[in-house]
Structure 1
Amino acid sequence: MEPSIPPPAYTGTDFYCDVAIPDPGSLDVVHLDERVLAFHHTRPFWQVHVVVVPRRHIASFTTAGAAEEDDLRALLEVVQQVARQVEREHGAAAVLTNLGSYQDSKHLHVHVHSGPQR
């Protein structure tokens, strides 16, 4: 058996539109419906690290408006479900989104995490 070669690091600006949403089968999916995808982070920063993302492109929490209301409601419902499950299983959870230069992927996404940083 030949050793597996890891895929090259993603270098684009929207991992979610370019990779995750078109191919959720390559991810460890927690939730998938017509509006929202949630999956275990591909390069986790914490012991438990789930990313929740709207399937429709929304650049950022601060750029979202009335036209995105249904997607935001769906996103927050899934964030709550995932956070509730993480808290139940691990005793604690944190919910985080990054903005501006802190936001590596220019697509709204919410991190739900627990445990020590890796």
Structure 2
Amino acid sequence: MTCVAPLLEFVFAPALGQAQAWSPLGDGTYGVVTAIAIDGNNVYVGGKLTYAGKVCANYVAKWDNTIKSWSSLGSGSGVNNLVLALEIDSDESLYVGGAFKTSGAISEHNVAKWKNNN
């Protein structure tokens, strides 16, 4: 099923008169992305990744689509293991689920909440 959807988009999008193209998010990530969440112009990615572009990600990072740049979350310490799920609530808090024991310097057990205070 995964292979069918891109093919359908390729076949039917030209009939709708829409230009379709892939575009990179900076230098991409170093490691596997298993979760994505979108909040306005921000794209959060999580997985088994060490870097997003040239930024130390520690399993989770943010792509700012306005300035076309990767950043780490908070002080950059991320979480200490695999991220499997990301979700953003109406308060713009990011919930992270996975197989980790710490987020930042805080002891967690597989789920954490991150809020951008900027």
Larger Rg: 2
Return the TM-score normalized by structure 1.
Answer: 0.30
Q: Compare the two structures and name the one with the higher strand fraction.
A: 2
Return the TM-score normalized by structure 2.
Answer: 0.30
**Higher RCO (CA < 8 A, seq sep 6+):** 1
